[in-house]
Amino acid sequence: MPFITKVKIRGNIVANFKVRHLAAFVSAMAISTAVSADLGVFATSGKTMGDHTFIEQGGQKAENIKKILANIKMPAGFKIDLYAIVPDARDMAMAPQGTVLFVGTRKDKVWVVSDRDRDGVADEVKDFAPSLSFDVPNGVQFSKDGFLFVAERNHVRMFPAAEFFYEGPDVVAVDIVPKGELIPVDEESYNHTARVVDIGPDNKLYISLGQPFNVAPPEKMDLYKETGIGGIIRMDRDGSNREVYTYGVRNSVGQDFHPVTGELWWTDNQVDGMGDDIPPGELNRQTEAGQHFGHPWFGGGTVRVSDFGYNTQEVPDGIVHPVVETTAHCADLGMAFYTGKQFPAKYKNGIFVAQHGSWNRTEPCGARLMFTSIDDEGNATMEPFAEGWLNENGEYDGRPMSVTQMKDGSLLVSDDYAGAIYRISYDAG
């Protein structure tokens, strides 16, 4: 049975407790300024530092990846370097003080990457909280006040002060959405279960819930509408006031909020099996709660779906189509707005999107980093930014999965195929 840190609250020991007021941690850890519960002893699991899994950062693998990076083409002034060897690296979250990077996976690990000598290359990579069990902990996100949120297949947890407590095997783990309550247990699947979690301008959690089918069947639609499967849900940071924020999503694994307007933008992956060139992938812009983005009536963009006769049915009112239609099956996944100062001005408040690469296209595409510029009216234009992971033989030398920004304005790119994280920086010379 996995260990869960125990905390004494008002005389009672509880495991993996659900806190309705997150500031309750202050009296024990000086995380906030408000106190709403009396925290006592933090139990230990019996795990030791030796129970951590450490990942070698040098050797032949690192040298091979560096050779691949020499083939990556980018605009003048940019360079790409190996930042860390991280197995299955996917969603990333930089801690508020910039000391460590947390990395989610589609397996059973959350990794912690540290660069103690501040040279732009990781010194240490080890697993986070080996006293706990994780199940597809793809989504990781920090709040500005230092709480780490991890979204798993059917579980959402919060870890106070993870930026500082990651050193040891034991941490405080707080259920935000208890295991088995993010979606109905009967709806758990191995497909489309990589969640992403973000904190919006309203200080609420936004969590993507991909639906597990190629095309969602009609008999599931009422359940999905109620639970938010095939959509994005929103809730308070303590898990209360859950609601469905977005409808008509097939499988989104990338989202971020516009730094000026506060609007939610997100990627979506299209229906498979309709051919090499249709339907397109999507970059979407959401301007208000409750909007519907077309699935399963649309397979991607404005392309109708014939499965289950959806193409013969009336579509829901007010369908919102994507602001950018991307090349079919390139698999647009993680994305982030660029707010740094290191890159040239054209990149300010634009979007970097990781295209993971196709799995069923007869001519492979993707495996690259795209950039989207947005004008004052919200019109978006996407162009390649970093290419070269799809080699001349049509083989993948890497598959970019997500992006995040460092405090110095450089960009980190995760690659779950190569098991690595890259750092892109700029020097005008």
Q: What is the pLDDT along the chain (429 residues), one digit of tens a residue?
A: 333 333 333 233 333 433 333 443 433 343 332 222 222 236 677 888 889 999 999 999 999 999 999 999 999 999 999 999 999 999 999 999 999 999 999 999 999 999 999 899 999 999 999 999 999 999 999 999 999 999 999 999 999 999 999 998 999 999 999 999 999 999 999 999 999 999 999 999 999 999 999 999 999 999 999 999 999 999 999 999 999 999 999 999 999 999 999 999 999 999 999 999 999 999 999 999 999 999 999 999 999 999 999 999 999 999 999 999 999 999 999 999 999 999 999 999 999 999 999 999 999 999 999 999 999 888 999 999 999 999 999 999 999 999 999 999 999 999 999 999 999 999 987
* Nearest in space to 315 (alpha carbons), one of 325, 305, 329: 305
Q: Are 94 and 83 in contact (CB under 8 A)?
A: no
DSSP codes joined into one string, 27-39: HHH--SS---S-E
What the block records as the tokens of 129 is 């909280």
Q: Are 86 and 111 in contact (CB under 8 A)?
A: yes
* Nearest in space to 142 (alpha carbons), one of 197, 87, 90, 193: 197
What the block records as the tokens of 397 is 């030398």
Rg (CA), the chain: 21
**Beta-strand pair 303-304/324-326:** unpaired
CATH architecture for the domain at 49-426: 6 Propeller (2.120)
* Domain boundaries, given as residue ranges, for the chain: 49-426
Q: Are 263 and 257 in contact (CB under 8 A)?
A: yes
Q: Is 267 exposed, middle or buried (0-12, 13-18, 19+ CB in 10 A)?
A: buried
AA letter at 46:
G
